Amino acid sequence: MVTTTNPANNQELETYKDMNVNDACDIINLSHRAFEDWRWKSFDHRAEKMRALATLLKDRVNDLAPMMTQEMGKPITQAKAEIEKCAWVCEYYADNAAEFLKDEEVKTDFDRSFITYQPIGVVLAIMPWNFPFWQVIRFAAPTLMAGNAAVLKHASSVTGCSLAIEQLFKDAGFPENLFRSLVINSNDMKDIIPDRHIRAVTLTGSTGAGQKVAEIAGRHLKKTVLELGGSDAYLILDDADIEMAAKQCAASRLQNTGQSCIAAKRFIVQDSVHDDFVAALKAEMESKTIGDPMNDKTDIGALASVAARDELHDQVTQSIAKGATCVLGGEIPNQDGAWYPPTILSDVTEGMPAFHDEMFGPVAAVIKVKDPSDAVRLANDSNFGLGGGVFSTDIDKATAIARDKMDTGTVAVNGFVKSNPHLPFGGVKDSGYGRELSRFGIHEFVNIKTVTVGG
């Protein structure tokens, strides 16, 4: 059995019967049968269903958002925004999939040669709890528009969201079993991934989870796309607009209560503006409202679980023991639930958890440097490479650093990293490989087939 819990008060929400491996494989077989018909449907037909899904998401936002908030603690206003963003990605692929996947003629010595993009079958998605709807829909929209079927293994803590997403696809008029949710233990993935009808796997999660899934998939020659952790570095150069930088950095660090792989986590600041930036960042973080995630005025809710909160606090205390200075926060509140205050650690150096590890919560690590080259060096001195940022009033200089020197999948100049359906999203190094969103995302799970005619 799977029981979900409200992390804001530790109260149990619902209990669900979980599946065994045979049950899950039976569902995968049904999804494969649905794919065999769906693959021949026109783009116009698929787009009609995808637009219906977008409409349902908008119409049901006031029912879906509270479910997300109760299961993982996301502030309700952010939960509503997440549902709206899901509708956006559905509309984007409904509008653009046909163009992204149209045949491409290539001039060669053959009488005719062209590239065609064909669906591959059932794609398995293993998804995390931190963006329970967005992580799923941003995968499912291009996957289904390409003509594939999808099965979802969601985090058990958001099982209600997982089943609600399955129902949304049904209610939007997609074929029965084309999108299914598997309520199954994560340890059973070793038996699910090898199923002959699973053609590819996409995972968003920790680096460790990605390594395990990639190893299993590799043994069975299944393609994978992995979007893993991040320890995003934001460079604040000596000519930056400090007040603006502090606002943007605080917004990035505190989004989703700091539980985002693309949140700003390390702030690498030139020494001449270090103290001013820390003061401005502290003021911004202190101004945010912590409280009941169901309240529209709440900026920061509970973390996803007490275990996650305790792990974060351990990283903070270890960093302080190694010489970091706690400028703000750093203490576990005396109340029920998985609460942790906005926290700033300064004097962070190499060798501390705050420098090297992904800190999945509202903790900012500030690192002082002498010059831009040193800032870039420390930014890239990480096993992760998901996102990053550069703040400077010299736009050309900042853009050049972003383009040529930051070893990440995305870099924001005078702003913070956000995923957008129009732009590819993913990382390098231990942050994974492959891309989601844009035309690159829909090309990940198709057979890019070459056809030649004549000699």
Active site residues: 227, 261
Locate all alpha helices (DSSP H) within 119-241, ordered by sequence: 134-145, 159-171, 189-192, 207-219
- 28 touches 209 (CB < 8 A): no
Report how far residue 444's alpha carbon sits from residue 434's, in angstroms, rounded to the nearest whole number.
7
Residue found by looking up tokens 């101004």 in the block: 287
* DSSP at 60: T
Q: Where are the beta strands (DSSP E) in 64-148?
A: 104-105, 112-119, 122-126
Q: How far is CA 445 from CA 87, 222, 385, in A?
A: 21, 11, 23
- Distance of alpha carbon 198 from the chain centroid: 22
Q: Which two structure tokens, joined as six digits, stand for 203? A: 């995972």
Report how far residue 344's alpha carbon sits from residue 352's, in angstroms, rounded to the nearest whole number.
14
Q: How far is CA 43 from CA 49, 50, 127, 142, 344, in A?
A: 10, 10, 26, 12, 49
Residue found by looking up tokens 């079993």 in the block: 177
Locate all alpha helices (DSSP H) within 292-437, ordered by sequence: 306-321, 353-356, 372-380, 395-404
Residue found by looking up tokens 């289904």 in the block: 144
- 252 touches 234 (CB < 8 A): yes
Burial class from Cβ neighbours inside 10 Å (0-12, 13-18, 19+) for residue 276 reads middle
Q: Which of 156, 6, 155 is nearest to 70 (CA)?
A: 6
- 243 touches 209 (CB < 8 A): no
* CB contact burial 331-346 (16+ within 10 A = b; e otherwise): ebeeeebbbbbbbbbb
Report how far residue 62's alpha carbon sits from residue 369's, in angstroms, rounded to the nearest whole number.
46
Instruction: Give 261-272 as a DSSP string.
Output: TTSEEEEEEEHH
